Amino acid sequence: IRSGITQPLKLARAAQQARRSSDALSIAEDYLRDHPDDVLAMTIAAEASLGLNDVDRAEPLLRQVVDRAPGFPPASFLLADLLIAQLRLREAAEVLESLLKRLPQQDNVKRFLADVRSQMNQPAAAAALYGQVLGSRPGNPADRYKYAQNLRAAGEKDESIAGLRRTIALSPLGGHAWSSLALYFPDELTDEDERRVRAAIGDSAVHPSDLRLLHVTLSVIEHRRGNHEAAFAAIASAKALP
């Protein structure tokens, strides 16, 4: 596959990256007339077809590539995305499971499959996959957060709280973990947590999307104390953000 990146296919890829899907498809299909078994050309043609919302053309191409090159992640990822868009989650999971058997150390495959399992309401399976990812990359806050959220959905309260706390330790300005802790486990919030949330709100480095969730967290804290005006003000601040 690597050696098959010829000049026409480079042009097709460049066209697709520039969102000129019609041009990319035309170049790839011209190439396939002379090289009908080229899996890279098939993949580019399929991706361009998806860019043109032609699912019926894309799926058979991707199925062929996955059959012929089952260890080629881009084709499996595109096929899984296509199936997910059609709510064919079981089939998407099967595609990713097959790829994972061939590439058992690939964290990106595990992440993708974990997200699909979560959408299928299989949080324990999703958490197990994220646990594997964290075994090799323990310092990724996004992985930590998704791990904790799936543990919560699976009914593992203590483990979920611990996961959210670890996420906050890795990313103290991250609003998702703070707001999840506040909304799902409000009794766990402490005075020290309030201090840290207020400090994060006042930090010039905080991202606007995180700032919104930090204000939500503060609103929960104030509401539980009976400070309803302060709770409303915090929510109003969140809503006022762009």
pLDDT, tens only, 1-57: 665 689 999 999 999 999 999 999 999 999 999 999 999 999 999 999 999 999 999
Label residues 158-193 b or e (16+ Cβ within 10 Å = b). ebbbebbbbbbebbbbbbbbbbbbbebeeeebeeeb
pLDDT score of 5: 82
pLDDT score of 1: 62
Separation between Cα atoms, residue 140 and residue 135, nearest integer Å: 11
Answer yes or no: pTM beyond 0.75.
yes
Residues 6+ apart with CB under 8 A from 73: 99, 103, 106, 108, 109
Low-confidence residues of the chain: pLDDT under 50:
none
